[in-house]
Structure 1
Amino acid sequence: MSKSGIAAVLSFLVPGVGQLYNGAFLRCIFWLIVTPGLWIGSGGWLGWICHLISAYTAYQYAKRSGD
């Protein structure tokens, strides 16, 4: 599996971990803080959206970084 694929899977499972894998520490912190807040604040509805967006952004960041 490519680096971008691994980053996407990691971020889908735990938002922010794919960003950490890519070396984007501040993005990691952002997702690790925002996602639980949206899970709790929305009763779980917006949490899944964070998982998907986090996975997509981790994938795109890895692709731009040269995979």
Structure 2
Amino acid sequence: MAQQGSGGNVLAAICSFFIPGLGQLVQGRILPAIIFFVATAGLYATVVAWFIGVIVHIWAIVDAARYKGT
């Protein structure tokens, strides 16, 4: 599996930058991918809580970059 800081994690982080959860999907983690995508999209759609969506989006990027595998 990919180690932290490996090319796979960098690619996953870049994918999550553009679409939240896509990096997790690239890593084969389907449930976290769905959760990050739905949560971020839902929060971005809410006018009052869009800034929380930004935080969740950043969290998705960092999560993809730091994933160590099993």
- TM range, smaller chain: 0.7 to 0.9
5+ long unaligned stretches in structure 2:
1-5
Q: Which residue in 1 is equivalent to 2:54?
A: 48
Q: TM-score, normalised by structure 2?
A: 0.79
Does the CA contact (< 8 Å) of 2:17 and 2:57 recur in 1?
Answer: yes
Q: Across the two proteins, how many residue pairs are aligned to each other? A: 64
Larger Rg: 2
Q: Counting helix residues as a fraction of each chain, which structure ranks higher?
A: 1
Q: Distance between the aligned counterparts of 2:14 and 2:32, measured in 1?
A: 16
| Identical-residue share of aligned pairs (%) | 31
Which of residues 22, 28, 35 is equivalent to 2:27?
22
Q: Distance between the aligned counterparts of 2:43 and 2:60, measured in 1?
A: 13
Kindly report the root-mean-square deviation, in angstroms, between the aligned alpha carbons of the 2 structures: 1.8
5+ long unaligned stretches in structure 1:
none
Which of residues 32, 35, 39 is equivalent to 2:37?
32
4+ runs deviating over 3 angstroms: none
